[in-house]
Amino acid sequence: MLCVLALDHRDAMRNAFRRVGVEDVSVETMAETKARIIEAVAASASGALLDHDAARRSRPDGLGVLVPLERQGYAALDGGRLNELEFAATDAVAVGADGCKLLLHYRADHRATAARQHALVARAADECQRVGLPLVVEPIVYRLEDESEDAYLAAFADLVVAGAETLSGSGVDMLKLQYPGDRSACERLTAAAAPLRWVLLGGGEVDAEEFAVDLEAACRAGACGFMAGRTVWGGALGLPAPEQRRWLAERARPLFERLASIAHAHAAGI
């Protein structure tokens, strides 16, 4: 099973700093914060998802590392979203990464963007195969510009499942997926993703207790682990360095260990 620390955040981490009142975060502050998070949590992780700079600066010996391929943000098209690549698989090789990740804004029901997003995945998968690196794709379901909140929420679970099903034959190696709502939907997700395995993503919108409950349900239904980021380390942002280290040791490390124990107890093997 996989217990991966997600720390490839770039603009998203700057935004997280802003939410706790810290503006204009420097590159060095970002790098130092990421190094402290890695130092605190890496011993309990089976791998880390790092940006290219952190992969160069802060990678602990023996820790498997994935790096992102996507450019930050997205372009709009007919109410939907399109991604672009910023990095190539050869860039991952250059920083010594063991694999790549591609975040993909994805709506299987949005014809104008779905085909182009598929083409992007195919390009990334082909590049990764040529250099011998696995590719994890993270399809993110989102609300369309003209869609009501109620309609989006009603369709969410089916859209997560549909995304997994349509991407399962795209040449990628694993999927990183949103929690679709309950264990029954996770069982549907496991069937839809086959033959690919999937891991549960953990973002800043989900608190630690909720994520732990979701993770157990997902693993019991066939997930093979998790990749968690702000849920684990978000509370450390904005603290002075000594307090940051203390918070990470007292809060982030035990939480990650707890999540890892859930995955080890219930996750499907790889």
pLDDT of res. 20: 86
Number of domains the chain is built from = 1
Q: How many CA atoms lie within 13 A of 99 on its CB side?
A: 18
Could you tell me the residue range of the domain that residue 252 belongs to? 2-69+85-98+146-266
pLDDT per residue over 241-259, tens digit each? 999 999 999 999 999 999 9
Q: What's the average model confidence in pLDDT over 147-165?
A: 98
Q: What is the band of 268 on the pLDDT scale with cuts at 50, 70, 90? A: confident
Residue ranges of alpha helices (H) inside the chain are 11-19, 27-41, 52-57, 89-94, 111-131, 149-167, 183-193, 208-220, 230-233, 241-247, 253-266
Q: Return the CATH number at 233.
A: 3.20.20.70
What proportions of the chain, in percent to the nearest 5, are helix, strand and coil? 50, 20, 30
Q: In 3-state terms, what secondary structure has residue 101?
A: strand
Query: Taking Cα atoms as reference points, which of 40, 39, 31 lies closest to residue 13?
Result: 31
- The answer on pLDDT for 204 being more than 70 is no
pLDDT of res. 44: 94
Torsion of CA 193, 84, 127, 38, to 10 degrees: -80
pLDDT per residue over 115-127, tens digit each? 999 999 999 999 9
Is 14 among the domain residues?
A: yes
pLDDT per residue over 208-254, tens digit each? 999 999 999 999 999 999 999 999 999 999 899 999 999 999 999 99
- The answer on pLDDT for 270 being more than 80 is no
Q: What angle do CA 15, 142, 222 make, to 5 degrees?
A: 100
Is 103 among the domain residues?
A: no
- The answer on pLDDT for 86 being more than 70 is yes
The residue type found at 270 is: I
Is 116 among the domain residues?
A: no
What span, in angstroms and rounded, lies between the C-alpha atoms of 31 and 214? 30
Is 124 among the domain residues?
A: no
Q: Taking a C-beta distance cutoff of 8 angstroms, is the pair 163, 105 a contact?
A: no
Q: What's the average model confidence in pLDDT over 76-100?
A: 97
